[in-house]
Amino acid sequence: MMTTVNGKLILEEHNKLDKITQKVDNLNQSWQKLEVQLTLLSQEQKTEYLKQINFVKIDLKRLENLYQKLLIVMVVSTVGLVSVYVWLGFNYPSAHQQTQEQVLPQQ
């Protein structure tokens, strides 16, 4: 069917084609916007993931330092306790050794 607007002949089929073209263009623009949003979202997720990895690395470093300090304290404590045990063993003989020393001179 042919219509006129301001004295100009308008074909409805051509008008429908323009509408379809506009819809396709709008869909393409929407698709591009979605792609951009998806890219931004995945970049934000990547940065959040990297932040979490950095936090885990920092916590791991702290735990390693704490472990090293604890290991040093344990080694020093062990050496100290062994030294005290040996020193007490030489300076204060056991009750069994004292009784043997007292018994031996009398014989």
State the pLDDT at residue 105: 57
CA distance 93 to 83: 15
pLDDT score of 97: 66
107 residues of the chain, pLDDT tens digit each: 556 666 676 666 666 778 888 888 999 999 999 999 888 888 888 899 999 999 999 999 999 999 999 999 999 999 999 999 998 887 776 666 666 666 665 55
State residue 65's pLDDT score: 95
What pLDDT does residue 82 have?
A: 94
Q: How far is CA 89 from the centre of its chain?
A: 52
Kindly state the helix (H) or strand (E) to which residue 105 belongs, with its residue range: helix 95-106
